[in-house]
A and B are shown apart, each in its own frame.
Chain A
Amino acid sequence: MATGYHSLASNTASQAGSTLFGVLVVVGGFVAILAIVFAVAGRVTGRLEKPIAVVICLGPALFLVALGLILPALTTINNSLKNQQFLGQIDTKYIGLKNYTYAFSDPYTQHTILRTLAWLLVVPVAAVFVGLLVALLVDRMKFSSVPKTMIFLPTAISFVGAAVIWGYVYDYADPSRPQTGLLSQIAIGLGWSNPPNWLITVPLNTFLEMVIMIWIQTGFAMVVLSAALKSIPDEIIESARLDGASGFTLFRTVQIPMIRNTIVVVLTTVMITTLKVFDIVFTINNGNFDTDVLARQMYADMFVTAQVSRGSALAVILFVAVVPLIWYNVRTLRREREIT
């Protein structure tokens, strides 16, 4: 027994050691190759110096971007027009836009899309609302960094970790036994004798999963909005006060309009993240009990249920939905930079 335990431990240690050694070799090797290339190419002078430097500096990035982003994006668009089912399938045919008409006519996928839209409406608005509220509250506070850090903290937590954490909030136990989930305990404490099993209660479970996303995204909204509030010149607030604005009026007529662009950028940024939500739904219910969203169904289509082309069509739909959001974001940011 003891020897078995020891061999297990030493196995683990040796495997961990070899993995970390591999990392050292990779990173060290990469830096060494760079150093050698720089040393050799650095000897070139004259007319060829600049072209060679451009190739060395820009080449790797362009190669990786083409290999990892451009070609795959084109391939996925191409795949979405075929009838490919599993990875590596040879005899595939082009079937036009059938995968797209399927996505919008299949009842299950329709529900997935509608649910993703619900995420898209609820999460960004709620995160920006709470984030703005906190940003305003701490704007006048002395030790604001402590509550700000506490609210910002979930940003560093993975969606998987968040799902585990919130498992202890949503956990279900028979009402006759001691409760292990905080939400049930509060519900019972408030006099609800028989709270439901939260995570399999439709449609409540979708909203409870949204709460996790809001919990994570609020910190981001708060930090960006707080910085925007701080950047409003004191003179403007002062003159508004001289005109008699205070409290909520000041907030509504001066502060909000001044940071409107930032609010919109935060809103669209959280939208982009929410549109791709995968981990939370995947970890908590794996899309069962009517919680499926676009990114989760796409993953299942591609790698679980062997519907590569249908999954590719969903990926393209995701892409088409993201483009206007990012375009709007970039436009707003650029306009803001031109003004300031």
Chain B
Amino acid sequence: MSTTTSPPVKAQQPLTGKAGVRAVREAFSGSVASFFAVAIAVLWTIPVLGLFLNSFRSREDAATTGWWNFFLHPSFSLSGYQEVLTGSGGLVLPLVNSLAITIPATIIPIFIASMAAYSLAWMRFRGSDWIFFGIFALQVVPLQMALVPLQQYYVRGLQIGGVTILPSPGINGSIAQIWLTHTMFSLPLAIFLIHNFIAQLPASLIEAARVDGASHLRIFRSIVLPLSLPAIASFAIFQFLWVWNDLLVAKTFGGTSPDSQPVTARMQTLQGSYGSRLDLLAPAGFLTIVIPLIVFLSLQRYFVRGLLAGSVKG
């Protein structure tokens, strides 16, 4: 009845300036453009929706019919989740392993990189610019180039001409070598990102602290580190998603037993062996993606800020 009254039609009058631009933008909103935008968004979400619905369907339904049948014959069951979580070779330990890899591989580079970024930005010394550009340029080294040499280092230490320069860290086969690898490879990006931020802190702030007799280490700890939290947050969410979602490093340096693999590597194996068990693939797949999705959705703002600062990993 009167709930769908059309908005009052305004008298046509020539609009200029910002008001004109806004009027044009509003004219487009809610019309064809929005329809197409929403259509593409829905299209983009359908595959995830399929996985989500299938993960809650009963075993017979999920294995024999498509997920869209959920709307015709709804069935609800948690047996898939139960089996994936409690069955042997299930996902509990891989999820724990993923956390155990991702947390150190996110926190440790934050400290190492922000320390390096501070020293390169504020403790000027001869060659500091060159070191910064050198580290920045190392972003071109693809991870693929380091796999075999790092593997050899983890197994038998660093040898040049048969002479051991640096002994093996003794972490071969443990998840420690996965986070150590991620830590190393995150540094060029992390130092670049945090340096860009730290270098723009007001010089007067740091000079004032110097005049007051504060040492560099103290300035870093009590002034610079707290002030760079936005940049650190951007990097942290980047790194968290990157490490959690990584497969290549996990496959190369992780163990092969289901108990020592992170969740991506475990999932990749399951994709093969659950091939005939479509009912288990869906809950396992959803468990794999749910934690990064939560992190992403709750911290999207920082993530976008990092993206726009030119921090793209590869």
Contact = CB atoms under 8 A, between A and B. Distances in A.
Chain B interface, >50% SS class: helix
B304 to A, nearest CB: 6
Interface string B38-69: 10111011111011001000000001111111
Nearest to A316: B145
A125 interface: no
Interface stretch (B5-13, B89-97, B226-234): B89-97
Q: Interface majority SS on A: helix, strand, loop or mixed?
A: helix
B215 A53 contact: yes
Nearest to B96: A16
Contacts of B29: 140-142
B292 to A, nearest CB: 5
User: What's the interface size class on A, roughly?
Assistant: 35 or more
Contacts of B135: 61, 65
Nearest to B138: A69
B77 interface: no
B285 A58 contact: no
Interface of A: 5, 8-9, 12, 15-16, 19-20, 22-23, 26-27, 30-31, 34, 38, 41-42, 44-45, 49-50, 53-54, 56-58, 60-62, 64-65, 67-73, 75-76, 79, 87-88, 130, 133-134, 136-142, 144, 146-161, 163-169, 171, 177-182, 185, 215, 218-220, 223-224, 227, 234, 237-238, 241, 246, 269, 272-273, 275-276, 278-279, 282-284, 295, 298-299, 302-303, 308, 311-312, 315-316, 318-319, 322-323, 326-327, 333
15 contacts: A12-B93, A30-B107, A53-B119, A73-B146, A79-B149, A138-B34, A149-B297, A157-B289, A158-B292, A168-B282, A218-B44, A275-B314, A278-B248, A279-B264, A318-B144
Interface of B: 16-18, 20-21, 24-26, 28-30, 33-34, 36-38, 40-42, 44-48, 50-51, 54, 63-69, 86, 88, 92-93, 96-97, 99-100, 103-104, 107-108, 111-113, 115-116, 118-120, 123, 125, 131, 135, 138-153, 155-156, 158, 166, 175-176, 180-181, 183-185, 187-188, 191, 215-218, 220-221, 241, 244-248, 251-252, 259, 264, 267-268, 271, 278, 281-282, 284-285, 288-289, 292-293, 295-297, 300, 304, 307-308, 310, 312, 314
